[in-house]
Amino acid sequence: MFVDRFYLYCAIIGGTLFLLRSILLFCGLGDDGGDGADVGDVPDDPGDGSSPVDDFKVFSLHSLTAFLLMFGLSGYLLLRAKCSVAVAVAASLVIGTLTMLVIAKMFQASRKLQSDGTIHLSDAVGATGTVYLTIQPGQTGQVEVTVRGAKKIFDARGADATLPLPTGTPVRVAEADGILKVVPIDGAGK
């Protein structure tokens, strides 16, 4: 019967493409969010997750191959179970569409796991560290501060412009306004 073969071919083609796409994705050779192969991309979209289209792409290459796989597989199995063609078509369309939505939601969730890792000066406020290069009164020196679990060296000034802070002085970051402003901890530096 022609309809049986149609569903079987859909399942084989969709399954093969889905498997190849998944292997490429897990090997790092494909990115479901920005490889230019997605249906429904918006021109002039920055691709940084700031648009609703980037957040929820139902019509990606991966979800379309998943639709084809599940559409073909469910239709073929329903026809083999002696269901009518109308029931098989309706059920396979619903199952394929649900699969597309699940795949789109999975990729949306995986995009939210990404982080840029950029450390901003404001992240250092409240952190403690030590003076790396002596901070002379009213001048700039450097401090070593642990921010987001990483030790970083930043330019800094003393919050009290009359107080020298020699190398090794324990300090706390009080403010970050273009440059860190630090205060000695426990009266150090006086």
> What number is the average pLDDT over the span 119-132?
90
pLDDT band at 154 (very low <50, low <70, confident <90, very high): very high
139: burial class by Cβ within 10 Å (0-12, 13-18, 19+)? Answer: exposed
3-state secondary structure (DSSP) of residue 153: strand
Superfamily of domain 121-184: Nucleic acid-binding proteins (2.40.50.140)
Strand partners, 142: 133, 155
| pTM attached to this predicted model | 0.49
Residue 35: pLDDT over 70:
no
Structure tokens at 137: 């009164």
- Which regions of the chain carry the CATH code 2.40.50.140? 121-184
> What number is the average pLDDT over the span 23-48?
55
Running DSSP on this structure, what letter comes out for residue 135?
B
Query: What are the pLDDT digits (tens) for 51-87?
Result: 444 445 667 787 888 899 999 999 999 999 999 999 9
**C-alpha to C-alpha distance for 118 and 160, rounded to whole angstroms:** 29
Residue 44: pLDDT over 90:
no
**C-alpha to C-alpha distance for 2 and 4, rounded to whole angstroms:** 5
Would you state the pLDDT for residue 38?
A: 42
Q: Which candidate, 109, 95, 22, places its Cα nearest to that of 57?
A: 109
**C-alpha to C-alpha distance for 23 and 21, rounded to whole angstroms:** 5
